[in-house]
């Protein structure tokens, strides 16, 4: 992977905010020719700095009004338990994000559901059934203050 320069950072900053921008608009914005911009984009994609493009959806309007974070403590912390837990989480579409963390618990899970009743169902039928789960702590989000922020390039 090549080092990224200020022009690459400018491209990445624009793409984080406006993923659907055309190559021509992007080249105008950063002051490069369309061909040079296109070549840089290909390299940024090839090197994995840009991992994909997608739309940001409004969870409220789509019926996913409750955002929940869950601390998960496993019964054992061995490589096979970590692997089985990770594989099972990756098969659970309700789990938006899952992070192994250092500290007083093993994983932090982020999920979105319709409401508290739907979360109770998710907890009982999905989360507590994941391999190795010993204990969970639930944090229902009352207000989203900041989310989907771009990286500070």
Q: Are residues 40 and 68 in the same domain?
A: no
Q: Are residues 36 and 73 in the same domain?
A: no
Would you put residue 25 in left (φ > 0), alpha (ψ -120 to 50) or beta? alpha
For residue 75, give the nearest of 137, 139, 138, 136 by alpha carbon.
136
Whose tokens are 């994909």? That residue is 52
Q: Are residues 42 and 72 in the same domain?
A: no
pTM value is 0.87
Torsion of CA 87, 88, 91, 97, to 10 degrees: -80
Q: Are residues 81 and 133 in the same domain?
A: yes
d(CA 122, CA 116): 10
Q: Are residues 16 and 82 in the same domain?
A: no
Total domains, the chain: 2
Percentage of residues of the chain with pLDDT beyond 90: 92
User: Alpha helices of 18-151 — where are they, by DSSP H?
Assistant: 23-30, 34-46, 79-90, 116-125
Which residue segment(s) compose the domain that 68 sits in? 60-140
Q: Are residues 86 and 31 in the same domain?
A: no
Encoding tokens for residue 135? Answer: 């204990």
Residue 153 lies in a domain: no
Per-residue pLDDT of 60-112, as tens digits, reads 999 999 999 999 999 999 999 999 999 999 999 999 999 999 999 999 999 99
Q: Are residues 37 and 67 in the same domain?
A: no
Q: Are residues 122 and 75 in the same domain?
A: yes
Residue 29 lies in a domain: yes
Say yes or no to pLDDT of 2 above 80.
no
| CATH number, domain containing residue 69 | 3.30.70.920
Mean pLDDT of the chain: 95
Q: Are residues 97 and 136 in the same domain?
A: yes
For residue 34, give the nearest of 25, 45, 42, 44 by alpha carbon.
25
Q: Are residues 103 and 72 in the same domain?
A: yes
Residue 146 lies in a domain: no
How many helices (H) and strands (E) the chain has is answered by 5, 4
Per-residue pLDDT of 10-32, as tens digits, reads 999 999 999 999 999 999 999 99
Q: Are residues 21 and 84 in the same domain?
A: no
Q: Are residues 17 and 73 in the same domain?
A: no
């Amino acid at each position: 992977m090549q080092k990224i320069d200020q022009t690459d950072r400018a491209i990445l900053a624009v793409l984080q905010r406006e993923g659907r921008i055309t190559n021509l608009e992007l080249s105008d914005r950063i002051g490069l020719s369309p061909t040079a911009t296109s070549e840089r984009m290909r390299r940024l994609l090839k090197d994995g700095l840009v991992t994909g493009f997608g739309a940001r959806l409004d969870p409220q309007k789509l019926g996913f009004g409750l955002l929940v974070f869950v601390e998960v403590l496993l019964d054992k912390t061995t490589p096979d338990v970590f692997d089985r837990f990770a594989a099972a989480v990756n098969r659970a579409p309700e789990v938006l994000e899952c992070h192994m963390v250092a500290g007083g618990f093993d994983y932090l899970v982020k999920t979105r559901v319709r409401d508290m009743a739907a979360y109770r169902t998710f907890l009982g039928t999905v989360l507590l059934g994941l391999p190795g789960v010993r204990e969970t702590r639930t944090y229902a989000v009352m207000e989203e203050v900041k989310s989907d922020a771009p990286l500070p390039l």
